[in-house]
Amino acid sequence: MSRTDRFFGVLSPVVTPFTRDLAPDTDRFIRHCEWLVSQNCGLAFFGTNSEANSLSLAEKTELLEALVDAGVDTARMMPGTGACAIPDTVALTKLAVARGCAGVLMLPPFYYKGVSDDGLYRYFAEVIERVGDAKLRIYLYHIPPVAQVGITLDLIERLIAAYPETVVGIKDSSGDWSNTAAMLDRGWPDFAVFSGNEKTLLDNLKGGGAGCISATANINPGAIAKLCEVWQTPEAEAMQADLLDLRLAVEKFPVIPSLKEVVAHYADDPEWARVRPPLDPLTGDQRAGLLAELRRRDFAMPGLVREPA
């Protein structure tokens, strides 16, 4: 791919803050997005870590509209728009394209298990035809540990062949480096392969990948973005090791509530800690353990706006 005209580097699956009555907190959401962009991090909001499937279409519509209205750079936006129902995927994708988002990240429909590549192909094709916009750029979202429904290499090739200008990349959250490597090996032209986290970021970049879309980019965006800039320098290996070390520390705890607790702590804003059911908040012990891991590493979130007391 040409690394200048499409996404390159790190994007964050932006965590979604909730008010006391569990409604999306639009103001805090926008502020967190603004901070992420200030750290040279793209915005893959409405991802798994965003609790996007715990949000209604109406709630996602409002958040997307508000974020664009706030003047945040749409060239950095890759909202998740894939849902089980074609009309839902089409509605949110159309909105994203209409509001200028540079791309969308698209889950396959994930209720039925064991569906065929044919069925998934017809799903994506139907969405693309219904959106019917030459500006649409789809990044496929392969996350079999959660969605259970994956996206095979054959399906990717079939979609690229049919829609070369539209199907332009993938996020590989398989957790299986051999799958990422296989995608890179295919050498699809102008196709952006993002790792699902920063644990294999340097290997991905060396293999021709485009960067990563990572949960921990919510709290550590600057350091990940930096590696994407200097990956060809001698410092890169040590930076990768530091990223891995922090990631593994966070992964000792349930990731989504952990990210929110970290933002809550470093913004001095306990409101951030809420999750929607069926997710659980951290226990007190988990929270203390997580923050101790971070303190031990002199972790900081530079430039994060603290909430007024």
The residue ranges that bind a second copy (CB under 8 A) are 22, 48, 53-59, 84-88, 91, 108-113, 115-116, 118-120, 122-123, 126, 145-149, 276-280
Closer by beta carbon to a second copy, 83 or else 228: 83
Closer by beta carbon to a second copy, 117 or else 242: 117
Closer by beta carbon to a second copy, 17 or else 209: 17
List CB contacts of 71: < 8 A, sequence separation 6 or more.
Answer: none
Residue 92 CA, chain-centre distance (Å), reads 16
Sheet holding 167-172: strands in order across? 42-43, 9-12, 211-213, 192-195, 167-172, 138-142, 104-106
The C-alpha R_g of the chain, in whole angstroms, comes to 18
**What token pair was written down for 123?**
């799903």
Minimum Å gap between C-beta 93 and a second copy is 13
Q: How far apart are CA 266 and CA 299, in angstroms?
A: 10
Report yes or no: 250 and 287 within 8 Å, Cβ to Cβ. Answer: no
**What token pair was written down for 23?**
């409604």
Per-residue b or e along 184-210, where b marks 16 or more CB atoms closer than 10 Å to that residue's CB: beeebeebbbbbbbbbbbbebbebebb
Minimum Å gap between C-beta 197 and a second copy is 17
Minimum Å gap between C-beta 145 and a second copy is 7
Closer by beta carbon to a second copy, 92 or else 304: 92
Closer by beta carbon to a second copy, 59 or else 73: 59
Minimum Å gap between C-beta 297 and a second copy is 27
Closer by beta carbon to a second copy, 1 or else 151: 151
Minimum Å gap between C-beta 293 and a second copy is 22
Closer by beta carbon to a second copy, 91 or else 250: 91
3-state secondary structure at position 47? coil
Minimum Å gap between C-beta 108 and a second copy is 7
Minimum Å gap between C-beta 109 and a second copy is 5
Other beta carbons within 10 angstroms of residue 158's beta carbon come to: 18
Q: Which residues pair with 192 in a beta bridge?
A: 169
Report yes or no: 141 and 107 within 8 Å, Cβ to Cβ. Answer: yes
Q: How far apart are CA 85 and CA 123, in angstroms?
A: 9
